[in-house]
Amino acid sequence: MLHNPAIWTLLLLAAGCVTVLLFGHGTALRPGRGGAIANITLLLVLSVWWVHAFHGHGEGFDGMFLLDRMGMLAAAGSAFAGFVTTVMLTGWLRRQGRECAEVHALMLLAVAGMQVMVQTRHLAVLFLGLETMSVALYAMCAALRERRAAVESGFKYFLTGAFASALLLLAIAIIFGLTGSFHLDGAETKLAHAGELGVIALVLFLAAFGFKLSLVPFHQWAPDVYEGAPTPVTGFMATAVKLTGFMTLLRLVPALGALSQHLLLILAVLAIATMLVGNLGALVQTRVKRMLAYSSIAHAGYLLAALCVVLAAPAGSAAAEGASVALSFYLVVYVLMNLLAFGVLALNERAGDEPLLLNDLAGLRNRRPWMAAAMLAAMLSLAGIPLTGGFIAKWQVFTALLGECGGAHGTLMTVLASSVALCSVIGLAYYLRVVMTMYVEKGEDAKPLPVVPFAPMLLVMLLAGLVLWVGIVPDGLALGSEAISGFLRTLF
Amino acid sequence: MHDALFWFCASIAVGGALLAMLRREPLKCALSLIASFVALAGLYFLLKSPFPAVLQILLYAGAIMVLIVFVIMFLNDESGAPGKGDISRGGLVLAVLILVPLGWILIRAIWNADLPMMPAAPEDFGTVPAMGEKLFTTWLYPFEVLSLLLLAAMAGAVLLAKKRLD
């Protein structure tokens, strides 16, 4: 068991969390060290994953724990998102005058919860991981608890999240009742003959995940929660939670597919509604954070479309494999570009609780040329313009959809593909509006921007570079990751 | 006898939970919740698991409820006339329109479902040694993850309640 990287990372995260709680607090004279400890912990966790190079396969604890490439990738992705967020969050909280060590401890626990969630097919363990992640996030959303918006954000997230958890528990209870086990392995045949009750379990399960992933019509909480939470935390929610949620769905949905032949139709309808509502909602926003919240809803729709291809293609075929690779790739790029966009926002946000309006970014080209360039990369990538990672990701999902157009579910796939295309065009409008504001408007009467520390700026530049690099060399990330693995292996 | 006891406990458990939701005075909600918790303990007894039943009474109906009642007493403001009309009539109608058919479908499905028989529980099921052994062997991993969950809840509570953020 000690050869198991997952156990090491969980132990590291738990130890880091306790260390932050014990030694992370600052005093009147010196700033807290919570962020630094959390960052070191997350870097160690990332290097554990890289040393193992995302290879290896294992099971433990009676199948409650499952280690494979997908789970490692998702866990490393959420640790990376946690790292970027912690760097941003340390400075952001200091600027708002609300430094507190607990936030960093909660971040480590959220990352641990996500790892537990993606590395299992046992429903009880899945639930525990999901709750650990959610409970940590509820509190982080309301970290600035003197502000109305923050309290509203935390409370709304808590209420909808608790409701979603109840739905998930009911679904798990029904599945346990039908199969006599919490394991989904080998439950397919039993579930296939479950009848009406099985379909109800499936619907409850999808509704619970719909809440967590803010799929339409379960999305109403998202804009308010995203807006009220500290900006770096919003970035974490928009990236790591979606990454974890979709990876979990990718793992579980094929098993649940036995429950209903309508599953694909349900998911496709959800995907189209999510794309449309997300994009149309983003069009009318003037606050940048709210716009990005709707944009993340829209991207959840594209991701769901990719999940539909995985289900539509015959199980185990090359097409299904290709579609799940396309989904994973989209997720990775999605995490990178959203971390970048929210990072730039967090660095430009002034102290105080007035929201960052689109106009505040006016003339950023002259005032912060590098920052404007980074935001440009993020927006173009989110819109899916060539030479950015977002384009390659969207193109892969699109070709996967087109590839299935002649298959058994051809009509559905055609409809999905055309809505992806249509919604991408709508998306151009609001992403390019941000670019226009930064590059065309003068912004002479704009309020002064806060001072930007070196480390977060470096990180933003790195992320922008990665987003562009993936767009030019699509397998660049994999190559780079292997290079890092090789380097770390020489050290250990 | 067994069936009658089950229905008795189950209706109190569900009824108490419903009252806890519907009553407007926080203290009465808490008291209804105690009734629900005790009835739940009764259900555990019926399932031949005395240990969880005792824990249910000690921890939930006892310790946690005392905490909740304390909090209610502390926060009790004198103006405390319960709010009226929090829920709009339209919202209520919409909720009933959606929930009643859904509930009917769910109940009918459970009623008609052909659930497999669970294997009979071993002789020592629900006793302290058997539970302890399960907890630290088969269920070790979830047990440890659960401790992370509690830690998250604790750190979150500190973050939200601490007087002065450093």
Q: Give how far B116 is from chain A: nearest CA, Å.
A: 6
Contacts of B149 in chain A (CB under 8 A): 113, 128, 131-132, 135
Quote the pLDDT of residue A161. Answer: 96
DSSP per-residue string spanning A101-129: HHHHHHHHHHHHHHHHHHT--BHHHHHHH
In a 10 Å sphere around its CB, with 0-12 CB exposed, 13-18 middle and 19+ buried, how is residue A234 labelled? buried
- Of A105, A164, A115, nearest in space to A136 by CA: A105
**Which of A10-19, A94-103, A228-237 shows the lowest per-residue confidence on average (mean pLDDT)?**
A94-103
Inter-chain residue contact A32 with B162, CB threshold 8 Å: no
Nearest CA among A340, A403, A394, A458 for reference residue A81: A340
Closest CA relative to residue A99, chosen from A30, A16, A18: A30
Q: For the stretch A271-280, what's the b/e string if a residue is b when 16 or more beta carbons lie within 10 angstroms of its beta carbon?
A: bbbbbbbbbe
Q: Of how many residues is chain B composed?
A: 166
Answer whether B151 sits within 8 Å of A145, measured CB to CB: no
Predicted TM-score (pTM) of the model is 0.93
Q: What is the DSSP string of B120-136?
A: PPPTTTTSHHHHHHHHH
Q: Is the ipTM of this complex over 0.85?
A: yes
**The Cα angle at residue B65 between residues B63 and B67, in degrees rounded to 5:** 70
Residue of B nearest to A105 (CA): B155
Instruction: Find out whether A462 and A378 touch, Cβ atoms under 8 Å.
Output: no
Mean residue pLDDT of chain A comes to 90
Amino acid type, B50:
P
Cβ A92 vs Cβ A230: under 8 Å: yes
Q: Which two tokens stand for residue A112?
A: 């641990």
Residue B80 has pLDDT above 60, yes or no: no
Alpha-carbon gap, residue B8 to B19, rounded angstroms: 16
Most confident of A193-197, A445-449, A487-491, B157-161: B157-161
B152 and A106 within 8 Å at the Cβ level: the answer is yes
Tell me what percent of the residues of chain A surpass a pLDDT of 90.
61
**Span of A265-269, A273-277, B81-85, B122-126 with lowest mean pLDDT:** B81-85
Q: Residue A318: CB partners within 8 Å, gap ≥ 6?
A: none
Q: Work out the minimum CA distance from A45 to partner chain B, whole angstroms.
A: 17
* Own/partner pairs, A323-328, CB within 8 angstroms, 24+ separation: A323/A400, A323/A404, A324/A250, A325/A396, A326/A393, A326/A396, A326/A397, A326/A399, A326/A400, A327/A246, A327/A250, A327/A303, A327/A397, A328/A70, A328/A73, A328/A247, A328/A250
Q: How far apart are CA A192 and CA A187, in angstroms?
A: 9
More confident residue, A243 or B90: A243
Decide if pLDDT at B127 tops 90. Answer: no
Beta carbons of B159 and A103 less than 8 Å apart? yes
Contact (CB<8Å) A106/B156: yes
Chain B partners within 8 Å of A194 (Cβ): 113
Distance of CA A194 to the CA centre of its chain: 33
Bridge partners, residue A67, by sequence: A58
Q: What is the tens place of the pLDDT at every residue in A287-340? A: 999 999 999 999 999 999 999 998 888 877 888 888 989 999 999 999 999 999
> Is pLDDT at B57 greater than 80 in this prediction?
yes
User: On the CB side of A400, how many CA atoms lie within 13 Å of its CA?
Assistant: 33
Predicted pLDDT of residue A105: 96
- What pLDDT does residue A173 have? 92
